[in-house]
Amino acid sequence: ETGVTQTPRHLVMGMTNKKSLKCEQHLGHNAMYWYKQSAKKPLELMFVYNFKEQTENNSVPSRFSPECPNSSHLFLHLHTLQPEDSALYLCASSQDKVAAQPQHFGDGTRLSIL
């Protein structure tokens, strides 16, 4: 299934670098999500966009900056990250964010902060 595509799959960066994660969905969905998955922790919701508008910021530090130029694309801009930010970052989409629609995930970006 290639409905939700994330790039890059792996990223290693220093704490002073600036990089971006990209997510693209080909499912015609209107809602997109960023999640953080760390070892032995539940999936943590970071941001929610519905029809390109941010509707949820789950107390995420400002060193993570999301961007949603249209309903098919979602970015996560990273700068001055900390070692504890190393994790798998998953993007997901759903038809919309009401009525509890199933979410479809991408393969994630494995991020390592040196």
List contacts with other proteins (CB under 8 A): 1, 4, 40-43, 45, 48, 56, 58, 90, 97-100, 102-108
- Look up residue 3 and give its DSSP letter: S
Beta carbon nearer to other proteins, 64 or 105 = 105
CA atoms of 55 and 96, how far apart (whole Å):
12
Strand partners, 24: 5, 73
Q: How far is the CB of 102 from other proteins (least distance, A)?
A: 5
Q: How far is the CB of 12 from other proteins (least distance, A)?
A: 17
Beta carbon nearer to other proteins, 74 or 90 = 90
Beta carbon nearer to other proteins, 15 or 98 = 98
Q: How far is the CB of 15 from other proteins (least distance, A)?
A: 26
Q: How far is the CB of 80 from other proteins (least distance, A)?
A: 27
Beta carbon nearer to other proteins, 56 or 67 = 56
CA atoms of 108 and 99, how far apart (whole Å):
25
Query: For residue 8, is the peptide bond before it cis, meaning its omega torsion is within 30 degrees of 0?
Result: yes
Rg value, the chain, Cα: 13
> Does residue 22 contact residue 73 with C-beta atoms inside 8 Å?
yes
